[in-house]
Structure 1
Amino acid sequence: MQDSVLSSEIHDPAAPAHYWQRWWKGQTPGRQDRFAMLAPLVAVLLFLAAIVSAFGYLRLEEMDREQEAVKRDIEYAQQRVRLRLLERQEQLMRIARDVSNKDVDPEEFMGRAESMVVQYAELQAVSWIDEKRRIIASYAAPSVSNHQLRVAGEVLRPGETETMFGLVRDLQQPVYAQPVASSDANGLLQLHIPLANQGRFGGVILAEYSIDGLLRHGVPAEVSAKYAVALLDGKGRVLAGTSVPARNAATHLLPWAAQNNEYEVPVSPVGNGLLIRGQAYRTSLGVIGSGLFWLVGVLSAMTAWMLIGNWRHTRRRMQAQLALIAETNFRRAMENSMLTGMRALDMQGRITYVNAAFCQMTGWSEAELVGRTPPFPYWPEEDRELLAARLDDEIHGRAAPSGIQVRVKRKEGSLFDARLYVSPLIDAKGHQAGWMTSMTDITEPNRIREQLSASYERFTTVLEALDASVSVAPLGSEELLFANKLYRQWFGVQTVGHLQMVAQAGVPEHPRSDESLDDVDSFVGLPTGALTTARSENAEIYVPELGKWLEVRSRYLNWVDGRLAQMVIATDITQRRHAEEQSAAQAERAQAASRLVTMGEMASSVAHELNQPLTAINNYCHGLVSRIKRKQISDEDLLAALEKTARQAQRAGQIIQRIRSFVKRSEPNRTLADIAQMVNEAVELAEIELRRRNVRLTHYVAARLPQVMVDPILIEQVLVNLLKNAAESIDNARRPAARRGVELRVIPQQVDEQQVIEFSVTDTGQGLSPEVMERLYEAFFSTKVEGMGIGLNLCRTIVESHQGRMQAENIYNGADVAGCRFSFWVPVSGATNNIAKKDAGVAV
């Protein structure tokens, strides 16, 4: 019978309706009223949202179509303007090429310029300006005002196109610019085309466009008729054309619908300095202007207002019902909400009341406990005598005010620790009717206390066994909060050692507070959270009393009592310091030995270099002796010959002095050094070896480089070694004379947001094989038969000692190795970090 009923419900189409009816009847009257009110209101709001969404969707579709049309037409106009500019640029570049080849004189230039200005309306003037900014020839359209005319023979006024003139000279390629327009002239666009005079900068061909003419003649008429087209500069200012006023947002449903349909794109090849913008004219009234929208909105608002009024009336009825229910459940909620177990005993020790928390803690129900007399079922069998004695003390008022700790057995047999607090229970007449006992489960606190105790013991054992001194002292006090075994061995149990290490390490004992704060508490208002999370500060100090070097690390922390304290960890690094000093001394000796080896390898070149001034001195002296003996020399000739002899002697002395200063062993001396002077001195030494091997050297040093904090002799040693290796690589590769060249470049760079100076040496040798590249900086590894294998290793050590980096890479011409490039960089000194980074370079 039941199976047939279930089957009929499954196949009955009305079964879902019966389900909803049962669900509705299962709800409280308050929920039924709430659902009855909210359902129509939600339906009205959803209907209004659907109407608004439909209007918005249609408007967005329309805006997308308009925006696509604007974008397509403006990009077409930009292409037309671009092609027009490129055509004029090609014609002007042909004129510049003829002028550079001296195939065009000023008169012919005027004729060709006149032809272009007459033929192309947007071209206002064409001028020929030499490298001294003097006007050679210029032709302007008749519409150009007199004060804008450029007269042949005049020199450009200071500041007029001066920046762009220098930029064209540096880049050696056409550059567009926009000069500041005067009050009575339209905006202009200038094109600077460089001229070459035997490989050098010979001036520019200056073409000036009318931006308004470029817009009128470059933009197609069909685009101008459909949109408000304008040309703007890089700052968004309108140079030519028209703009459409912003639409009123109040007439549109969507905020973004009030924006004009516009599109702007940079005009190539000018770039971001000249933009073309198109704005579509308004064609629609907006959503808010639709009468249907207002009709739907008013009807929806009226319906929602009536539903809200009905809901307020229903809500007052629900509040009256809820007040009755709350009053009924108040006492039950108070009893069930307590986490502390409560138990009441009468004067004979019988249980008269237990709350839900007590039943939950013990596992026994209220019916099983109320009315029971000792022994109670939650007493463990082995503790019954002890618990009976404590119950007797409790009934007779002898219980301790701090409570008693007992073990309690749950119904399922497990035990837990509890603490009981007893207070007398007074009835309405003021007589004692029994005792009220509160019980708290303290199993977890006891477990945590035991774990903390074991953790503290482990923590103390570890700190006592550390080979570092650890001490903690509060700020502004001489109290020592903690000190491990090693600290006590070094400094005893006083704070003197802690404060001494803090003072020597330069770490502030406490952060600087505001002088306006109260002197009684110097830490009022300090952000202690930021102090305790800050990184620790490290320092290395020497303690004479111990005869040890210590590495001191300090940080702030909140002590267990809430005070702000300072922890100092000191590690003995005496052995490490001695090893570092020995390593530094060995590195210094290796550097001096490397310079001696370099000079030994260059000995024959140095001898040849000295032979020239010494031979010249000998010839001058013999010539003077012969002419003096024949009395055929005047005083002027004698003085001139002696001056030449002195110059040759000075030259020989300079060569010897440079070699002596290079190979002389000295202590590292880092000072603010001039880069150009270091490079010149290194080149002066290396050129001897390069000339002997018939290798050409070109070097480039950027202008106005900042000074760097380095040892000049060591940096010169690196440069000399790299230049000598480059010459040997070219010589071993047997390159022809045209390809026997070494390039040295010194330029500023940015590495990891740090300003550095990069030195690079590029040769045209045979490069480095992968096997050599892997072992390039390995000590005592060399590809030369007579090499010692310490040159590049020392170079890398020197560069890294200056906080720099060194690297090598092969230069490829297709699949063939065309040379090798060694580069290294050193950081710029902080005192000179404000030197301009973009100054133009100067070829030396």
Structure 2
Amino acid sequence: MQPRPLEDAHPRRGGWRSLLWTLPLLLSLVFVAGVLAWVRANELAERELERQTLITDALSTEAQLRSRIAEETALLRRLAAGLAGAQPGVEALAARPELNTGLRRLWLSVTWLDSRNRQIAQLPPQGIANEDGLSLHLSEPVGPEGREGSLVVRYAPSLLLKHGVPWWLSRKYEVQMVDSAELLIASTGELRMPAGPGPSYRVAFSGPLRSSPLTEAAITDAALVLTVREPQPTALKPLALVLIAGFLPLSAVASWLLRRQVRQVLRAESAWRTEAAWRAAMEDSALVGLRARDSEGQVLYVNRTFCDLVGWPAEQLLGRRPPMPYWPPDALEEVAQRNRRTFAGQAPREGYEARWVHRDGHMIEVMVFESPLVDAAGQQIGWMGSIIDITQRKRLEERERRQVETLAHNARLTMLGEVASTLAHELNQPLTAIASYNAGVLNSLQRQGGADPVVLNALQRLGQQAAQAGRVVQRIREFLTRREPQRERCQLGVVISDAVALLSKELSRAKIEMSLRLDPALPAVVADAVLIEQVLINLVRNAADALLTHPEPRHIEVTSRLAGSFVRIDVMDNGPGLQGLGAEALCAPFYSTKSEGMGMGLAICRSIIEAHQGLLDAGEAPGGGARFSFSLPLATTATAEEEDPSHV
């Protein structure tokens, strides 16, 4: 059943919407009126701004001219002060540097008059010609109260305007100086009356302007007139009116055409609205994420389930091209390559698994099924994807796999502990026998007398090493059987020195330089010295093995320092380093970087250090190479009972 047209189903709403075609015409009229009002207001604002600028520039020009006259007066005052007490004459006047300075600026001539206003000297003798024919004067007494006469400077007002008005003001305005009768005194342009086509502004200029050298009366009615050379044209041009007049008929025609189009759209809208509502309801209720893309990868459609799956709203996904925001940043190239295979028609029909990133950052596992997207003409225009969230299923599988690995790992550790305990038990008897035989041979040689001291020393060292081996085997056996280490107060400096001494010949044969930087002021720690010594031996031997393939010089350094309430031991080499591996990976049981290694050395070392409430760490050495560090707590009163052998 076809739905009724929108205008028939809702006559009032259809009649109102059918009048929408008149809206562009009304908006055009409002727009034209707004443009005309804006142009007029802008014109008035520009004129007001031009008037304010003109007033500001006129006041600024008047102030600059006053400042220039004040400078010339100050220069004349210095000249008069320099002539005070001098022999009146041309020579004294010409010798003053102020004279040349003034003549290079505004002065046309300088006249020296005596107290009776008789001329004593004048430079230049004839004065500098003034093209305008007008000149003004400045005067200054010479000597106390003018007893030695006075100086009269004649200057051209046109030069005053030329040097006192900035060049940019001269280009923008015509600056004129007039008197009360509107007679022109000076101008920056051609000599004419100030009336002009542009707007002008008049400001009083009643400064020290004197037209005669023999009078103190100043011109009090002079004024400056600034006239705009190029006034702003009127904004409302005939061309603008013609354009506006042509715009209105075109808007009317466009509105009529729009009316026809609106009526057609309204009829078509009610035909597909019901169909779209049914389709949207079915797609949004599906539990499978749907995604439609064109042949170039641009997203055409996503349903609500897909948006909830990746955490991005549809508005931010539609129209996007690869790479997509839900692709993992560390696998962009891999996902892009698989995406290109899909667009090439090589997507597996059984689907494929993928890892995506939710908007909040957590990873999701999905199963993607791709199928061709065909339009109404039967042409393939893209691909339709169905996405299923399999994150929970993957987590369950991973949990089961980890449980199986944990059981196998525990089984291997149990078996290793049993084997190690058996080996320790079996080795204890041969080591005891070796120590006993060594003691017997040593006692026999000492009773006979005359034995070689070197042989006796070697037998004594053999006995010590056999006893040490027995203690090591006993402590490791006790440690593997879950007994507490035999902790006692000890100095780590002695433990480190003993451990390095045991490896000295081995390091010397490998051409490895060994250095110790131990803090002699370190306090004692409570630890099992035998186990800690074995940890140090293991770490130093690992560093030596890593240096065997490294070119010379080869160097291992062991340092100790105080770090808060712990003592920190660092074993550093200049070998190839850890290749990006951390302590967790290196100390994992059965993991080894050596072809013949069992992968238990660092794991046992870590267990020994953690049993002492310490921490084993690994990283890169400052100068390159590897660094293995462990820390042990200091001996405190809280550990006093651990120092007592009876406590163990």
TM-score, with structure 2 as normaliser: 0.28
**Which structure's CA Rg is the greater one?**
2
TM-score, with structure 1 as normaliser: 0.23
Q: Relative contact order (C-alpha < 8 Å, sep 6+): which is higher? A: 2
